Chains A and B, each alone.
Chain A
Amino acid sequence: MTAAPEVLAIRARPHPASALSAVLTLGWRAMLKIKHVPFQLFDVSVMPIMFTLLFTWIFGGALAGTPREYIQYLLPGILVQTIVFITVYTGVGLNTDIHKGLHDRFRSLPMWQGAPIFGALAGDLFRYSVASLLILIVGFILGFRPQGGALGVLLAAALVMTFCFALSWLWIIVGMLVRTPESVMTTSFVFLMPLTFASDIFVNLATMPGWLQAFVGRNPVTHLASASRKLMHGQPALADAGWVLVASALIVLVASPIAMRLYRKER
């Protein structure tokens, strides 16, 4: 070690990073993590591909006549399911930072204290985009042909991102309340399992018994899947999309102040 005195000499500290620059830097960190731990992309690649293949080829014929017909119905829903599931990682990541002591470093830096949360969300939006792209490519290979064209697909993806951005706030709250990253996962899955499976992702709402329809019909994931399907196939989706946007806004309005408060809480 050859620490020359000038390396350690006190110099004027730079002007602290702006909130935006701090958020972008922390988003960059999230991307570096994907680069170093590519296994993180397992959930967003192998899982949805497996689901798509499984449902298309095994159930597709029975559910829609032919697998090719079924994938036109299924693919937008699989996209929704995948992205909704990986929203958990926002909470898991922040919980890990607190656990490992990185949180202390961030909090003692002279930057905007909300930056780590928004940085994590920015990194997640990138992850969601990668996942969406992968699923669409696989879908396309399997015969998915969106009638709404590129614009429809983009609008659907944007709607999914909006809802997932909102949903992430809930897992941030969970991430601040439970002790370990593992329990963030298990706690979140308790909610996510019924939310994604009791929806119209796999089968049409009309095929379900009445009492179930009542629940599934009110599930925001159902509206998100319907809206995505309609947008991708160029059908009017205003009602479903509106429902999703209102739900997203409500979640953000209620959850984000709680999450921020919990995040700033001393520990």
Chain B
Amino acid sequence: MTNAIETNGLAKSFKTTRALDGVDLRIREGSVYGLLGPNGAGKTTTIRILATLLKPTAGTATVLGHDVVREAKIVRQKVSLTGQYASVDEDLTGQENLVLVGRLLGLAWRAAKQRATELLEAFGLSDAAGRQVLTYSGGERRRIDIAASLVAIPEILFLDEPTTGLDPRSRTQVWELVRRIAAAGTTVLLTTQYLDEADRLAERLAVIDHGRVIAEGTSRELKASVGSNALHVRLVSADQRALAQQLVSRVLGDGVLPATDPTEVAARLESPAQAAAVLSALTDGKVEIAQFSVGNPSLDEVFLALTGRPAEESKQ
């Protein structure tokens, strides 16, 4: 198996901050790979280096065997980037935006128009084709933005937080698109702040924190480190937190996870069935519960488990 993307000790410093601090990645061709981490962890910087927009301060990165600094032009010929902010011209219509990109990629006018129409239809944007992007909904905007990256299908597609700020329905649509793009053979590297998103889309993922990869593997491997089920109890009053934690740990042993919210108690479950025992222990102990839920561990909890501290946002 060849690697579509390989980085070795990739580092990037801006004036005052060290955004990347030695990132090693091996991303297999034809896969969906997720970079998971909080804001400012270095996800965007990594993607921007790989898309030739930034030069690394140290280390190397190759895309399909081509060095992103020395062979930037070849790399640009093979990749597309959809940034966090719509990288289309809002004053132009959806159709015009796609024709523009097609022309810049070297398509003839006719071919560019044809390709635009084809993509707009495939992305469910035919009705919006003649409207200025300015008038698009969040979901439409994200789709036209991804479509603009596919005017010439790239061998590698970079998606920076493709679903941030989208409503659940648009989110599902984007997920569906990503799956289809990957199924057609494009390697997709996406960044996300949501574990469930990485879980649904990516075969493998890397957790990034403070410019370093702190964990790498399949999402199953990753979640095993936190326990596949997490319990969240929200208390009516923060005063009862110590008591609640005590009761929970009596049932679960060392499963209690440190939580950032003073009214919250989180714990790792071996099986969902343990939740019932915790609930009755809390009720018997007269703890007032505002909310009680069992679900996937959140990114926060993965972070806590991996680093022993909350995933605070570090500003670039």
Contacts and interface: CB of A to CB of B under 8 A. Distances in A.
Contacts of A101: 83-87
Q: Which of B104, B155, B176, B186 has the most CB of A within 10 A?
A: B104
Given A100-B85, A104-B48, 14 more contacts: A1-B176, A1-B177, A4-B122, A8-B150, A8-B153, A8-B184, A10-B184, A13-B153, A13-B154, A16-B106, A32-B91, A105-B81, A109-B76, A110-B105
Contacts of B101: 105, 109
Chain A residues touching B, range: 35 or more
Contacts of A100: 85-87, 89-90
A5 B52 CA distance: 28
A266 B54 CA distance: 6
Interface in A72-112: 100-102, 104-111
Given A3-B122, A29-B100, A108-B76, A9 B153 contact: yes
A102 B152 contact: no
Chain B residues touching A, range: 35 or more
B315 to A, nearest CB: 16
15 contacts: A8-B183, A13-B153, A14-B105, A14-B152, A17-B103, A17-B104, A17-B106, A25-B100, A25-B104, A36-B92, A101-B84, A102-B87, A104-B83, A104-B87, A108-B79
A98 to B, nearest CB: 11
Interface string B39-74: 000000000100111110000000000000000010
B122 A17 contact: no
B80 interface: yes
B201 interface: no
A102 B89 contact: yes
Interface in B107-123: 107, 111, 118-119, 121-123
Interface of A: 1-5, 7-11, 13-17, 21-22, 25-26, 28-29, 32-33, 36-37, 100-102, 104-111, 115, 266
Given A29-B100, A101-B86, A105-B88, A14 B53 contact: no
Contact of B185 (A9, A22, A105, A115): A9
Nearest to A34: B91
B76 A9 contact: no
Interface string B180-218: 110111100000000000000000000000000000000
Contacts of B103: 17, 21-22, 25, 28
Given A1-B173, A14-B106, A102-B88, A8 B186 contact: yes
Contacts, number: 134
B124 A11 contact: no
B161 interface: no
A10 B64 CA distance: 15
A100 B97 CA distance: 14
B123 A3 contact: yes
A102 B91 CA distance: 12
Contacts of A15: 106
A3 B89 contact: no
Contact of A3 (B105, B148, B177, B185): B177
Contact of A1 (B77, B122, B152, B184): B122
B21 interface: no
A114 to B, nearest CB: 13
A205 B277 CA distance: 94
B105 A109 contact: yes
Contacts of B132: 36
A115 B89 CA distance: 16
B6 interface: no
